[in-house]
Structures are given as C-alpha cells and as structure tokens.
Amino acid sequence: MTRKRLTKKKDSAKKATLRLLNSLGSRKVITQGNAKYMGSFDSSKLAFDYDALLRARSENDVSVCLKLANEYGVPVTTRGAGTSLTGSASPAGGGWVLDVTLMNRIAIKKDKAMAIVQPGAIVSSIQAAAEAEGLFYPPDPSSQKYCTIGGNIACNAGGMRCAKYGVTRDYVLALEGFLPNGEKVSWGGEYRKYATGYNIRDLWIGSEGTLGVVTKAVLKLLPKPEKTWTLVAAFDSDEDALRAVQRLLEEGFHPSILEFLDKRTIYCAEEIAGVRLFKNVSGKPLLLVEFDGPKAALTKLKPKVLNWAKRTSRAYKQAKNDREAEMLWETRRKCSGAMFALGDTKINEDIVVPLENQVRFAKFLDTLVRRSRLPIATFGHAADGNFHVNIMYHRDNDDEMARAKWAVKELMQKIVGLKGTISGEHGIGLAKTPFMKIARNEAEMDAMRAIKKALDPNNILNPGKIFDVYEVWNHTPETVSLPWDKKRPEGRRILPEHLF
C-alpha cells in the first residue's frame, strides 16, 4: 500500500472510532489502558494493535458498531472470553474488538427444555442453571468456567462428553444476531423443527465469527442423567489402549466420556504432577471411562464393562463413589500443566482420527517423537477420535523450534492421510491457516470464500482468519498469565530415553 493510501486509511479509521465514541460513549468504547490491551490477544497470546474495544451492552450497540464499520471499512473482531487457543479472537486485522461478555442473560424454559441465552453467558453458568431445573446442557469444554456460549457456538466447541452427547452444534436450536452489515436476523426460534429456507444457523456455527455476530441462542436441554459411574484401565501400550477403545464401541457400549492418556502424558501425570492411580502399575497409558444413565441401567451395565476391562487391560479399577471418581479425574486435569516441565511452549493440536485408524495413529506418534526428538504427549477424546497432540519445546531454542515446526506439519499431513482432519473443536483461527491447504481442496476453499464474500462483501468480520496463511512462528506471544493458565511445575525435566 502506498504511503498516501495508508494515511487516508488511518484518517478514516480515526474518524470512524470518533463516531463510534460519539454514538456509544466512552463507558462502552475504550481506546486505551489495560482493558484494551487484554482485548489485543486471546489464549494464543498473539497480540495485535487495534483502535478500540467496544463493550456492547445491547443489540443496538452491536448494530451501531457494524453499520459504522461497514461505512468506514473498519475490521471488527467479536470477542467472548478470549479462551480461543488458535488466535481466532485476536484482532489480526486491527480495527475494533466487539466484546459481548456483558450481554450474558440466561433463562431456562423447563416446559420446553430450552435455555434462552445471550452470547456472553458463561458455559458453566448455563449448565448450573439447567441443572437447577433438573435439566442438562452436555457440551463441556475444559474451559467451561470461563468461555462463553457465543465463543462455543462460533467455534462449535466440544469437550469430554461429546463421546455420547455430541458437540455444541447438536444443542443449538436457533440463533439470533447481526449480519456483518449490521442487519438483524434470526435463524430459527423456540421450536425444535426448522426447515424454512437455507440453514444459515448451521453455517454460523463454527464460522469463528467471520459470518455474523450471535446475540441470542436457543439451546436444547436434556433430562439430567440420574447417575454416573467411572472406571480407569491401564494398558501395556498406546496401541493396546486404542484397540480396547475399538472393542468397547464395537461391543455396543456408549460411554458418556472415554478419555485416552498416552504413555508420555502418564509420565507427566505420574512423575511430574505426582498423581498415581495404580500401586503396582506405573507408566502405562490409561483409558478413563464414564457411563451415565438411570441407576438400574448402570447396575446392569457394570459387570459387562468390567468384563471388557478384564479382557483388554493390564489393570483396572472402578470408582465406588463420587469422591473416588474425582480422584480418577485428577490425573486428566493435572497432566496438561505438568507438560510445561518438558518445554516452556506448547503447541496444542486437536486433530481427529477415524476410529479404524487410531492404532496406526498411535504408531505414528512414536515415529514422530523419535524423529523430532521432542516430547510430544497426547491425550483426548478417544470415542470421537479427537486427540490433543501437545508438542512441547523451548521457545528460545531455535533448533527445537525448527523441529516443532517440522513436527506439526508432519502431524497434519499424516492425519489427513489417515482420513482424519486437522481440527475437531478449536477451529482454524490463525494458528492452523498454513494447514488448510492440506485439509481442504481448492474447490472446497473456493466454496467457503464465496460464502464469506456473499455474507460479508466488505470483509468486516474477523478478517485474516481461516483463509489467509499466517505464520505464528514469526510472532512472539505475550508473556502475560491468564486466569485459566495452568500452574507451571518448578524446574525442567527431560523426557526419559525409553519414551523417545
């Protein structure tokens, strides 16, 4: 861009921000200070310079913002809690950040088994409000105490209970909000059936804030399961554990949660975090399994599941009560933070592998660790094949960083080769843009670009995400600590040789 055009653009952006300020006031439009700084990045910690943070309190605020943005060509990045791990909520295009967290009302309609929510409602608050009425909102991202329903809808968030209950999309009955040009729209209503023209509701879900701004959602609720039952099983190898997953599902069981923790994750949990589940078995990969349902059905199910565990595992144990179940889940919670003893930087991927290729995936991980000489620990949601591959390295070590960069690319290529995909729940944002060409062909990319162009001809909403290749490696992340950041262990560890 020539200097003259750049100056003209800057002047126009300044004028636009002034008009936003005049329209909505300085209580809502923040142009400096810590609050604005905190809006410059998300959990990826990739920060970008931008002009103003708008803390919207009403639909009118959203509409005013988008209309002015279109008039002046100002980029707008909608923001929930900023827990996105991909940079999807970082304002890469500059302009304005539209924070909707103050729009956070929740109403439960027990007779319809629905929750009517504003986008800033925290997911765990929706779950609690539903539970208070004997109802159940299943999607449970690990960030649920912090993240918003708007962010979950925009990323089509998942979680552990997807094994049985599916992802956010499966619970969104209707959405209301604004097109990128500031026009109000609603896709569906407080009803369960919806076949009235194009289903743009589903197009918005998972669009990472690039196609519209959600200001209200109608969510489907289920009856709350009567009871849960937890079991843990240890296996001789990662392959054995994933073979056992296949058996369990083939035999027709439907666990509500089925989490896999590979041998390197277990090293982190046992040797770094100090959590040990079995007295005589250590260092072995685990499956953490939960079933839910009526008490009588669980009583009938237990011997059959225990029989599966006996046949397939090296050791197993069941939780006899909620307190014991809590202790089993402790391993899952602690492993993620413990990994930081192996490297100060984590690349947390969320790839998906079809069930039939999970054993091959486990073998590939061994090869990847051996060839990259990096500690790579994998855990995740085995029933739906959505695994978190955590590549750890030290950011000040150029050689480790180069190997990490190589390892991610190898991983993505392999996953697509295994008929899987590069993201199951976090989305693309900035971090995964270099791999879109591995996962999607030109015709698919063109179709997506055409949709973006049709709904957002001025490229206002969240520009730079999904489509443009962004090299996160060239961007030094902020060093700030966020409320959801795990406590880092003291000292440095090196992965033992037998785990390479």
Contacting positions for ligand FAD (CB under 6 A): 42-43, 77-85, 88-89, 100, 119, 141-143, 147-148, 150-152, 154-155, 157-159, 208-209, 213-214, 425-426, 462, 484
Q: Are 429 and 84 in contact (CB under 8 A)?
A: yes
Nearer to ligand FAD, 65 or 369 (CB): 65
Smallest distance, Å, CB 499 to ligand FAD? 24
Q: Please tell me whether residue 5 adopts helix, strand or coil conformation.
A: helix
Minimum gap (Å) between residue 111 Cβ and ligand FAD? 27
Q: How far apart are CB 78 and ligand FAD at their closest, in Å?
A: 4
Say if residues 315 and 272 touch (Cβ distance below 8 Å): no
Distance between CA 69 and CA 79 in Å, rounded?
A: 16
Nearer to ligand FAD, 314 or 333 (CB): 333
Mapped onto helix, strand or coil, the DSSP state of residue 356 is: helix
Q: How far is the CB of 430 from ligand FAD (least distance, A)?
A: 10
Give 439's Cβ-side CA count (13 Å radius): 21
Using Cβ positions, the residue closest to ligand FAD within the complex turns out to be 151
Which lies closer to ligand FAD via its Cβ, residue 82 or residue 188?
A: 82
* Shortest CB 95 distance to ligand FAD, Å: 12
Task: Give the nearest distance from C-beta 42 to ligand FAD in angstroms.
Answer: 5
Sign of the Cα torsion 199, 201, 206, 208 reads positive
**Residue number, 312 or 462, with CB nearest to ligand FAD:** 462
Output 147 or 309, the one with its CB closest to ligand FAD.
Answer: 147
In sequence order, what are the residues at sequence separation of 6 or more whose Cβ sits closer than 8 angstroms to the Cβ of residue 389?
A: 348, 349, 351, 365, 376, 378, 411
The number of residues making up the chain comes to 500
CB nearer to ligand FAD: give 41 or 316.
Answer: 41
Specify the residue, 332 or 414, whose C-beta has the smaller distance to ligand FAD: 332
Q: Quote the radius of gyration of the chain (alpha carbons, Å).
A: 23
Helix ranges, 251-347 (H): 263-267, 295-312, 322-338
Position 497, amino acid: E
Minimum distance of ligand FAD from residue 88's CB (angstroms): 3
Tokens representing 55 are 């803390």
- Spatial neighbors of 194 by CB under 8 A, at least 6 apart, are 173, 174, 187, 188, 201
